[in-house]
Amino acid sequence: MMQLHILNETDPLKAVILGTAKSCGPVPKPEEAYDPKSLEHILAGTYPKEEDMVNEMEAFARVFQKYGVEVFRPSILENCNQIFSRDIAFVIEDKLFHSNILPDREKEFDAIQHILDKMDPTKIVRPPEEVHIEGGDVMPWNEYIFIGTYTGKDYPDLITARTNKEAVEYIKAQFPHKKVKSFELRKSNTIAKDNALHLDCCFQPVGRNKAILHKNGFLIEEEYQWLVDYFGKDNIFEITKDEMYQMFSNVFSISPEVVVSEKNFTRLNNWLRENGFVVEEVPYAEIAKQEGLLRCSTLPLIRA
């Protein structure tokens, strides 16, 4: 039986689900897009090709192999985009939560059943229907759980708002011994540079006490400031609007020392190296066109 164990974003990774770009289907129609960056590329005729994305994900898989991480892959559903495993489920402590995800993405979950079969069924939890939540918005960080949310009245009109206030209350009730800290995120269905699709699109801790952060992703300045104060200004790598759009905050930690990053993120990769990290660079610029990057493509199961 697999013992799930996730307490934070950076402890040494032992087992992970990595999505797949195989059989991801034809270029969506504009009305089928569920994020503004994909829409932009559909309209411009620059939507990424399956072959290129498969190659990018294989480069990522090779890094896991190098570090001895056990990698599980979803089974392949025909013509279904299964790149972003992060959102369909998430692990906190020893429980896996089945996300109530955007209905357009619901069937992606079926493809990890063979991995769930290795787990204790009493540790697999489905929140009630009114709880909308996606793993990209959920970040366990030791005694804290950080959650990205959107509570505006126009929530139902925003396909980019994926985690609601019921989700924040639900997680608080599930983990009474943790401090649950929520963050209102800026949303736009049409302008990718003004859209923090998930919390991991504008923030992510790295190492033991550092973080990548973009101010404009947050709707409430005090909530952004809370993060600056918590990590300390000198430990924060503040990214620009354009860097958020390129998904700089969506790198992925294999351990407190090793970060997988995109090969063109020069300013970030230099900062990471100056701060003592080993940076494993992979090409991921095609997948980035779908408003997700490395963290979004993974679902960590065990960090020891």
Ligand X SMILES: NC(=O)NCCC[C@H](N)C(=O)O
Interaction site with ligand X (CB under 6 A): 34-35, 38, 84, 86-87, 105, 136, 197-198, 200-201, 290-292, 296
Q: What ranges make up the beta strands (E) of 190-264?
A: 203-206, 210-213, 236-238, 252-253, 258-262
Minimum distance, C-beta of residue 232 to ligand X, in the bound complex (Å): 26
Nearer to ligand X, 173 or 290 (CB): 290
CA trace torsion 188, 212, 303, 283 (10° rounding): 80
Minimum distance, C-beta of residue 200 to ligand X, in the bound complex (Å): 5
Question: What is the CA 205 to chain-centroid distance, rounded?
Answer: 12
Nearer to ligand X, 48 or 143 (CB): 48
Number of residue whose CB is nearest ligand X: 136
The values of phi and psi at residue 195, to 5°, are -125, 120
Q: Give the DSSP H or E segment for 44.
A: helix 36-44
SS (H, E, C) 177-199: CCEEEEEEECCCCCCHHHCCCCH
Minimum distance, C-beta of residue 287 to ligand X, in the bound complex (Å): 9
Minimum distance, C-beta of residue 135 to ligand X, in the bound complex (Å): 7
Nearer to ligand X, 66 or 241 (CB): 241
Minimum distance, C-beta of residue 272 to ligand X, in the bound complex (Å): 20
Round to whole Å and give the CA distance between 74 and 17. 7
Minimum distance, C-beta of residue 91 to ligand X, in the bound complex (Å): 14
Nearer to ligand X, 102 or 235 (CB): 102
In the numeric block, the tokens 């095609």 are attached to 286
Are 36 and 192 in contact by the 8 Å Cβ rule? The answer is: yes
Nearer to ligand X, 162 or 303 (CB): 162
Nearer to ligand X, 31 or 222 (CB): 31
